Structure 1
């Protein structure tokens, strides 16, 4: 009985060996085809139009895209945080400066007479418009920073 089992075991090994040999041959054949295509493409196409290189670049980009998307979302959040802090600081400092001017009897500078403050507000409005365009908001709502943050958060959460 053990002799018959040993024969089955040897037959099993022969089948596995045959499959391994077949797969090895197939792998070698594919390597030869890959090398021939690579050589042919290098001769036919300029370097930046080589189909094999383009496929490799596309694959690399696809692999990096999720990480890049996450980094962009972090950057957007950080940018909005910076804008919120800048707005709070600048508006607070401006109000303090106007109170100081009034207490000293100096004419208070109007917003329209302060080009730096006007420019700052234009940058903030431009950012708000960009956020609205990305979130599908048409821009007819009030543009306070809390609404902008809600829209940005919505875009980030729904974009994932």
Structure 2
């Protein structure tokens, strides 16, 4: 039975300590509310900062996923459109129709311009002028550029 009494005493001590800490927390909160008006309470600011840091981590991951999806879309669009354009040119040639030059094809020019803008936005961070085909590298570079400029 002595063991149970010791455990009971420990539980009572921990319960009292918990009550005392809760009381101190409430008193500090009231004091800070009086001293620091308009959401300037340091306790609340620390909690908001921690929440923002957690949100930032998940936001970074979502940005990486979004950028990877964007690069994948660009790669697929380029592959599909360039492939279709090549087939169209072959069909024009075999049917005897005049071929449309790259400079006269507005959609093709616009596609290349968009892809070049995307590449230019990403490339200044590499500094070496090399063109990697690895979309993860491109996405990481763009993400770094966006985060560093923010």
TM-score, normalised relative to structure 2: 0.69
Partner of 1:94: 85
Q: Is 1:127 the counterpart of 2:113 in the alignment?
A: no
When residues 150 and 73 of structure 1 are mapped into structure 2, their CA distance, relative to the original with a 3 A threshold, is closer
The within-5 A match list for 1:17-36 is: 17-36=8-27
Q: Conserved in 2, the CA contact under 8 Å of 1:131 and 1:151?
A: no
The Cα shift of 1:42 comes to: 3.2
Q: Tell me the alpha carbon deviations over residues 28-75 of structure 1, each in whole angstroms, 9 at most, x when there is no partner.
A: 22212221222233342213x332222222222344444444333322
Output the CA distance in 1 between the equivalents of 2:82 and 2:18: 68
When residues 80 and 26 of structure 1 are mapped into structure 2, their CA distance, relative to the original with a 3 A threshold, is same
Partner of 1:116: 107
Output the CA distance in 1 between the equivalents of 2:47 and 2:60: 20
Aligned length: 141
Q: Which structure's relative contact order is higher, taking Cα pairs within 8 Å and 6+ residues apart?
A: 2
When residues 121 and 104 of structure 1 are mapped into structure 2, their CA distance, relative to the original with a 3 A threshold, is same
When residues 130 and 82 of structure 1 are mapped into structure 2, their CA distance, relative to the original with a 3 A threshold, is same
Unaligned segments of structure 1, at least 5 residues: 1-8
The Cα shift of 1:93 comes to: 1.9
Unaligned segments of structure 2, at least 5 residues: 145-150
Given the alignment, which residue of 74, 77, 82 partners 2:68?
77
Partner of 2:137: 151
